[in-house]
Chain A
Amino acid sequence: MTTPIITADLVDLSLEADSRQAATRRLARLLADQGRVTDLDGFLADVAAREQQMPTGIEGGIGIPHARSAYVTEPTLAFARSAAGVDFGAADGPAHLIFLIAAPEGGGSEHMTILAALARRLVHASFREALSAAPDAQTVVDIVTKEVLGQ
């Protein structure tokens, strides 16, 4: 795979947003800036549609807005930390770690396998703790790359 799923430009360690919509928009803009999303509003609509089905927050302070969308060019992860927390509908409170997962519509299973591996890492406390503690964006990228791709 030529394009990494995450780069330092896709990490925001001090996200400030008062709603999940705002948080998602901030992260999605990072994707748009990198040319990984061709239509910001179109992509956000797809994410919102998914979020509407059921909030993507899970226990442990995690929000995982995500969508398969025709406006996505590469399978991508954008990551944000929010000290104040953003409500993603989880029962136990706001999310401090937010993962925006973007998958191209009709992406091949090879792409999806990488995102699947990423999703699997998310449930590991060690992975979350490492990301919570990461001092800078590049460290986040390194952790994800190492854990998900085994590189």
Chain B
Amino acid sequence: MKLVAVTSCPTGIAHTYMAAESIEQAAKAAGHTITVETQGAAGADPVPANVIAAADAVIFAADVEVRDRERFAGKPLVIAPVKRAINDGPALIAEAVQAAGTAGAATLAAGAWAAATPAAAGRPAGAAAAGQASPALVTKVDRDAGFGTRLRQWLMTGVSYMIPFVAAGGILIAISFILGGPQVATKVFGGTFHGHTYPAAVTGIESFTVAPVLHAAGYAGLLFLIGKVAFFMLVPVLAGFIAFAMADRMGLVPGFVAGLVATATGAGFLGGLIGGLLAGAIVMALKRPKVPRAFAGIMPVVVIPLVSAAVTGIIMAVAVGRPVAAATSAMTNWLHGLSGTNAAALGLLLGAMMAFDMGGPVNKVAYTFGLASLASGDTKIMAAVMAAGMTPPLACALATVVRKKLFTPAERTAGEAAWLLGLSFITEGAIPFAAGDPLRVIPSLMAGSAATGALSMTFGVTSLAPHGGIWVIGLIGKPGMYAVALAAGIVISAACLLVLKSLRHAARAGSRVSVTSGTSVPVGA
């Protein structure tokens, strides 16, 4: 069996090397090959990437943070205090061998990084990783891979952490619609629903009092609000964990800040995605220069989070927030100028906009246009907008069922929730798919939604409700044609998704065979 190990200790002159020697001897005695990286005062000689790739398991015998641990992500992992390696090398080797044989369980998942501290030492990392809901959190970030692959791995790490927020928040909102009727949303946030105008029970999800919510909409309203709170974290979590995948724990602060700024400025998940990458890149750059030892201690705790959060936040607010605001008002004006044009063309455009960023600025412009039309009595535009917003999650859900292999386990989980979210007109259900692979997913979803929007307009479907999806079917005019428009868009999007994903899958499989001996693991496997 091939093993790799990292040893480290506070001083880096004694235990690091004793542990290395101890496990080397133990591995040799047990007939395994092992490569040990001593992260000590004599300078670390990094284990070559191809050795890591070929390793069956990884041992961290460390009392201080293992540097660049992301290199080992996805490998079965055993973590122990450095002394345990010295005192009982053979036991540690035996554990590593066992971990290697236990498929899926004991790996350094992206999710286990935070838990994989010396505090969690002395047991296989599987125990630490066991709290993670899905094996898909094993997002392998391979340093040696090309930039495109790593980029996708960073995005997938962010997505895998975001999915529970999408599922939990989305399902809560859907349940609140089922329990309290779709007007729950209007009762909580205020507005007009089917001729009734409700005052707002809350000013926003950042600060609310419970009594008015319960008074206006009961516990269904509260569930709705809680679902919205979970959704509020969606973009920050995406951005935070993209940065985390890139720069380890130090990426979390600027990543979350970037995501929060993206949310606050209405930049949506695409803004958060850019923010997360930006935050990760800035931390990676800040980690590079060597600093004096006296200073090194406060770098990860104070200096890097401070500087990176400030820089990321300012760039996000100025370079992303402002253009988004300008583009939003420009698009709104443009749309209003289009009123009276060909109905099908308008449906096509609005549909594509709904699917472009799913809750982001473009989607909001289209949806707000639908609301404005509804307020002025045009119920067809509202129907088209809502249908186009239901298509993306449903198409993703369908695609994951038709060709499971093209999706990661995390995406398949997201697909299960996406059925309900799509039916409830919670377009965010498609974000996990779009964020992980935007260049393929977004155009596919836009194509289907555009078709749905155009068909809905052509058929003359109407909606008296501003939201609610399937739960407001009683307020839909021509529900049969509505279903046809939806089905057409879903099929188109799912087909585009599957074609684009298969092409990539085929290309990837081909290149993998030619480059390595088949040891590399597909992303998220």
* A residues adjacent to B (C-beta < 8 A): 50, 53-54, 56, 58-60, 64, 66-68, 91, 101, 103, 105-107, 109, 112-113, 115-117, 119-124
Contact = CB atoms under 8 A, between A and B. Distances in A.
Nearest first, the 8 A-B pairs at minimum CB distance are: A119-B17, A112-B42, A120-B21, A59-B87, A116-B17, A112-B41, A123-B22, A116-B42
Contacts of A58: 18, 83, 86-87
Contacts of B63: 53-54
B13 A123 contact: no
A112 B10 contact: no
A124 B25 CA distance: 9
Contacts of B16: 116, 119
Nearest to A112: B42
Give the most central of A105, A106, A115: most B CB within 10 Å. A115
Contacts, number: 83
B212 interface: no
Question: What is the interface residue range for chain B against chain A?
Answer: 20 to 34
Contacts of A113: 42
Interface string B32-68: 0000001011110000000000000000000100000
12 contacts: A53-B63, A66-B11, A68-B12, A91-B87, A101-B14, A106-B293, A109-B42, A116-B13, A116-B16, A120-B21, A123-B18, A123-B25
Given A53-B10, A119-B13, A123-B21, 17 more contacts: A54-B63, A54-B83, A58-B18, A58-B83, A68-B13, A101-B13, A103-B11, A115-B17, A116-B40, A116-B42, A117-B17, A119-B16, A119-B18, A120-B21, A121-B21, A123-B25, A124-B25
A120 B13 contact: no
Contacts of A112: 12-13, 40-43
Contacts of A50: 10-11
B10 A64 contact: no
A66 B21 contact: no
A126 to B, nearest CB: 11
B83 to A, nearest CB: 6
Contact of A68 (B11, B20, B43): B11
B228 interface: no
B15 interface: yes
Contacts of A54: 10, 63, 83
Interface in B1-34: 10-18, 20-22, 25
Contacts of B87: 58-60, 91
Contacts of A91: 87
B13 A66 contact: yes
Interface of B: 10-18, 20-22, 25, 38, 40-43, 63, 83, 86-89, 293
A122 B10 contact: no
B11 A120 contact: no
B18 A120 contact: yes
B14 A56 contact: yes
A109 to B, nearest CB: 5
Nearest to B17: A119
A56 B14 CA distance: 9
Contacts of B88: 59
A131 B20 CA distance: 21
Contacts of B83: 54, 58
B21 A107 contact: no
Contact of B14 (A60, A66, A105, A107): A66
B86 A123 contact: yes
Contacts of B14: 56, 64, 66, 101, 115, 119, 122
Given A54-B83, A58-B83, A58-B87, A115 B13 contact: yes
Contacts of B13: 66, 68, 101, 103, 112, 115-116, 119
A68 B63 CA distance: 17
A46 to B, nearest CB: 9
A113 B14 CA distance: 11
A127 to B, nearest CB: 10
Contacts of B25: 123-124
A91 B38 CA distance: 25
A16 B121 CA distance: 35
A121 B25 CA distance: 11
Contacts of A117: 17
Contacts of B89: 123
Nearest to A107: B41
A125 to B, nearest CB: 10
Nearest to A58: B86
Nearest to B85: A123
